[in-house]
């Protein structure tokens, strides 16, 4: 039976490619002890976001559509939105909480294991010609810098805000809502509705870009480590 290392070596191309480096980093992420968002966490967030958009759109049709039609749609969208966002936030808290409650000794042991696997990736990189690694390091460093500039102009330090933009968007939506008045959860004017929708889209898109930035950071760190003597 072949080990993971032998499989990785067999799959190594003749020249260094970012596709191979991506697969190698992904295998490290899967094997490491660092928490990663599950598909359920990601899709439940997008589900809740989509339901909020449908609810806002349905409320905008109240001038032309009878309330007997709009109210059931608003109730379903509201419940689906709350369920989706609650599941997503709950899974995120469950994923991040062990980092704060895990005993220090076991955390240190996990870091040692992750460190050894990290250097396995570095060792695989060092088997490629130095010129290829230097060229790709220059390229990905430039790409990371340009991405940081664009993200700074559009989103600022969104990773420092956490879930605050999401809470602000929910406050704008539910600030006038009362229990039993289901349609009022989406009873916002056009400007407020567009603001809520834009804020949620920027929040989701911002975290997608942050994930790409983290990936570029990993490439730079690995390539730099492989070039050290």
Of residues 179 and 123, the one with the higher pLDDT is: 123
Residue 23: closest CA among 34, 10, 40: 10
Q: Is residue 15 part of a domain?
A: no
pLDDT tens digits, one per residue of 169-223: 677 666 666 666 655 666 666 666 677 777 777 777 777 777 788 888 889 999 9
137 located within any domain: yes
Residue 106 falls inside a structural domain: yes
**Integer CA distances (angstroms), 85 to 2, 5, 88, 144, in order:** 42, 39, 5, 31
**Three-class SS state of 7:** helix
pLDDT confidence of residue 192: 66
Q: Where are the alpha helices (DSSP H) in the chain?
A: 4-10, 18-31, 39-59, 67-96, 98-101, 104-125, 130-154, 158-161, 164-174, 190-227
Stretch 137-155: mean pLDDT, rounded?
Answer: 78
Provide the residue range defining the domain that includes 101.
37-227
Q: Establish if 165 belongs to a structural domain.
A: yes
**Reported confidence tier of residue 105, pLDDT bands at 50, 70, 90:** low
Express as a percent the part of the chain with pLDDT over 90: 9
Is 7 inside a domain boundary? Answer: no
What pLDDT, on the 0 to 100 scale, is given for residue 10?
40
DSSP string, 201-223: HHHHHHHHHHHHHHHHHHHHHHH
Would you say 73 and 120 are in contact if contact means Cβ atoms under 8 Å apart? no
Does residue 47 fall inside a structural domain?
A: yes
117: in domain:
yes
Average pLDDT, the chain: 75
* pTM of the complete model: 0.62
pLDDT of residue 135: 93
| pLDDT cut 70: percent of the chain above it | 65
**If we measure between CA atoms, which residue out of 80, 94, 85, 83 comes closest to residue 37?**
94
Number of CB atoms found within 10 A of residue 155's CB = 18
In this model, does residue 6 exceed pLDDT 50?
A: no
In a domain, residue 218? The reply is: yes
What is the model's pLDDT at position 1? 39
What per-residue confidence (pLDDT) applies to 2?
41
The C-alpha atoms of residue 194 and residue 190 are separated, in whole angstroms, by 6
pLDDT above 70 for 7: no
Domains in the chain: how many in total? Answer: 1
């Amino acid at each position: 039976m072949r080990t993971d290392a032998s499989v990785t070596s067999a799959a190594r191309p003749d020249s260094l490619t970012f596709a191979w480096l991506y697969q190698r980093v992904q295998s490290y992420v899967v094997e490491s002890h660092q928490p990663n968002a599950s598909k359920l966490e990601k899709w439940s967030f997008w589900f809740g976001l989509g339901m909020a958009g449908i609810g806002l759109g349905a409320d905008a049709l109240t001038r032309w559509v009878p309330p007997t039609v709009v109210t059931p749609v608003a109730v379903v969208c509201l419940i689906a939105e709350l369920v989706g966002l609650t599941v997503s936030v709950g899974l995120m808290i469950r994923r991040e909480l062990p980092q704060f409650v895990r005993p220090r000794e076991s955390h240190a042991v996990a870091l040692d294991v992750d460190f050894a696997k990290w250097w396995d990736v570095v060792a695989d990189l060092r088997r490629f010609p130095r010129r290829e690694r230097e060229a790709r390091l220059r390229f990905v460093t430039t790409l990371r810098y340009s991405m940081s500039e664009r993200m700074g102009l559009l989103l600022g330090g969104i990773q420092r805000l956490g879930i605050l933009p999401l809470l602000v968007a929910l406050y704008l939506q539910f600030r006038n809502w009362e229990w039993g008045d289901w349609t009022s959860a989406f009873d916002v004017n056009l400007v407020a509705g567009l603001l809520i929708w834009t804020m949620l889209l920027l929040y989701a898109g911002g975290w997608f870009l942050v994930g790409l930035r983290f990936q570029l950071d990993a490439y730079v760190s690995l390539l730099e480590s492989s070039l050290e003597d």
